């Protein structure tokens, strides 16, 4: 079987077009995903890279993507019976466009269906369709009356880029700052939820259900800037040192409202001290915690293909969790 690994930042963009933080995070997921898929017997992995990335050395066959070529043309030179794994942000419809093109060409990709990519790629639609336990999300900050601190973020954003927090009295100034920093797209607003930030992911197997992965702590750096606070995601640690049952219950409540699905979906959750967990975002794609899960499964089982078997649906069981694994957004595995 031939499997293509396509990481958007390294396949279609030059390094000069990407921030260092995004570059490192994308590279970490690209390298680990290709490594995992190559452990499956009979699976031949091909990694798509932009022609300017010839300084990257990977132990896999490389498919070079010319800078003046389109994704559609790339597909015309690849096997229609191949399998594709896509790592891409939902920002500006990028993930949707790539997966939509694969679907129209009759190429199998391993990921959420287009309708769920649309639903979860739009933070406003996520809340409007599902409601709690997703955090209240609106497109007008004046509609939030139950919080002194408000979060402003891109409606179709990815990660912590252009995500800021301010007192309600300064929210218009925060919006102006986000605009001056270069983001011109639609914004949404959420009440700030104080608590412990964690993440969790699920892998869907269609009619065979889904498997919830262990809860992970999120390492979030808060940068104060006058009345504003900027959030920066720096990786995480799994398993989280909390009672995971309430987080799992909140995520199951949401997942059980959805049709059956295939693919990986990640959840950013805040666990308040005295209230139920709140789902802050649903990510219809591979997230950086994938790197932690992959390393963790390998360490806990002693098997290189442990996570790949779950990701590809060959196995649906979770291993016994062992020594904690800490992972960072700069490609470093800390423990």
Q: What is the pLDDT of residue 16?
A: 81
Q: What is the pLDDT of residue 143?
A: 95
Q: Look at residue 21 and tell me if it is in a domain.
A: yes
Q: Look at residue 184 and tell me if it is in a domain.
A: no
Percentage of the chain with pLDDT > 70?
Answer: 97
Q: What is the pLDDT of residue 180?
A: 95
- Do 76 and 132 share a domain, yes or no? no
- Encode pLDDT of 309-330 as tens digits: 999 999 998 999 999 999 987 6
Residue 306 has pLDDT above 70, yes or no: yes
Residue 334 has pLDDT above 50, yes or no: no
- Do 125 and 63 share a domain, yes or no? no
Domain that holds residue 207: 121-136+194-328
- Do 82 and 132 share a domain, yes or no? no
Q: Look at residue 127 and tell me if it is in a domain.
A: yes
Whether the bond into 239 is cis, omega within 30 of 0: yes
- Do 65 and 200 share a domain, yes or no? no
d(CA 199, CA 266): 7
Q: Which of 86-95, 144-153, 324-333 has the lowest mean pLDDT?
A: 324-333
The stretch 128-155 carries a mean pLDDT of: 95
Instruction: Indicate the pTM of the whole model.
Output: 0.94
- Do 50 and 132 share a domain, yes or no? no
What is the pLDDT confidence band of residue 157, given thresholds at 50, 70 and 90?
confident
User: Checking phi first, is residue 107 left (phi over 0); if not, alpha (psi -120 to 50) or beta?
Assistant: beta
- Encode pLDDT of 56-83 as tens digits: 999 999 999 887 667 888 887 888 889 9
- Do 132 and 77 share a domain, yes or no? no
- Do 126 and 65 share a domain, yes or no? no
Q: What is the pLDDT of residue 68?
A: 66
Q: Look at residue 213 and tell me if it is in a domain.
A: yes
Cβ atoms 290, 199 nearer than 8 A: no
Q: What is the pLDDT of residue 268?
A: 97
- Encode pLDDT of 7-51 as tens digits: 999 998 888 888 888 888 899 999 999 999 999 999 999 999 999
Q: Look at residue 219 and tell me if it is in a domain.
A: yes
Could you tell me the CATH number of the domain that includes residue 52?
3.40.50.11770
- Do 103 and 219 share a domain, yes or no? no
- Do 200 and 322 share a domain, yes or no? yes
User: Checking phi first, is residue 286 left (phi over 0); if not, alpha (psi -120 to 50) or beta?
Assistant: beta
Closest by Cα among 281, 328, 19, 26 to 154: 281
- Looking at the 3D structure of the chain, how many domains does it have? 2
Q: Look at residue 32 and tell me if it is in a domain.
A: yes
Mean pLDDT in the chain? 92
Cα(first)–Cα(last) distance of the chain, in Å? 34
């Amino acid at each position: 079987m031939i499997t293509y690994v396509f990481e958007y930042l390294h396949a279609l963009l030059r390094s000069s077009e990407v921030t260092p933080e995004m570059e490192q995070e994308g590279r970490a997921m690209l390298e680990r995903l290709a490594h995992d898929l190559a452990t499956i017997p009979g699976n031949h992995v091909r990694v798509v890279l932009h022609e300017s990335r010839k300084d990257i050395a990977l132990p896999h066959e490389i498919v070079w993507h010319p800078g003046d070529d389109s994704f559609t043309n790339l597909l015309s030179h690849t096997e229609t019976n191949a399998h594709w794994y896509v790592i891409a942000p939902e920002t500006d419809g990028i993930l949707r466009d790539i997966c939509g093109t694969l679907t129209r060409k009759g190429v199998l990709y391993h990921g959420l269906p287009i309708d769920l990519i649309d639903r979860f790629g739009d933070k406003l639609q996520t809340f409007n369709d599902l409601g709690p336990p997703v955090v209240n999300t609106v497109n007008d900050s004046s509609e939030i009356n139950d919080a002194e601190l408000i979060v402003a973020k891109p409606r179709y954003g990815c990660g912590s880029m252009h995500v800021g927090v301010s007192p309600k009295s300064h929210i218009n100034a925060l919006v102006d700052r986000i605009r001056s920093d270069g983001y011109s797209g639609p914004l949404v607003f959420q009440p700030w939820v104080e608590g412990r930030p964690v993440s969790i992911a699920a892998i869907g197997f269609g009619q065979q259900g889904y498997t919830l992965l262990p809860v992970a702590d999120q390492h979030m750096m808060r940068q104060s800037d006058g009345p504003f606070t900027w959030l920066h995601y720096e990786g995480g640690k799994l398993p989280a040192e909390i009672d995971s049952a309430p987080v799992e219950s909140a995520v199951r409540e949401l997942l059980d409202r959805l049709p059956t699905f295939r693919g990986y979906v990640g959840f950013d959750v805040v666990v308040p001290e005295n209230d139920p967990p709140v789902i802050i975002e649903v990510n219809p794609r591979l997230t950086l915690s994938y790197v932690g899960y992959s390393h963790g499964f390998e360490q806990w089982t002693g098997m290189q293909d442990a996570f790949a078997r779950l990701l590809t649906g060959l196995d649906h069981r979770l291993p016994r969790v062992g020594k904690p694994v800490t992972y960072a957004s700069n490609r470093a595995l800390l423990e």
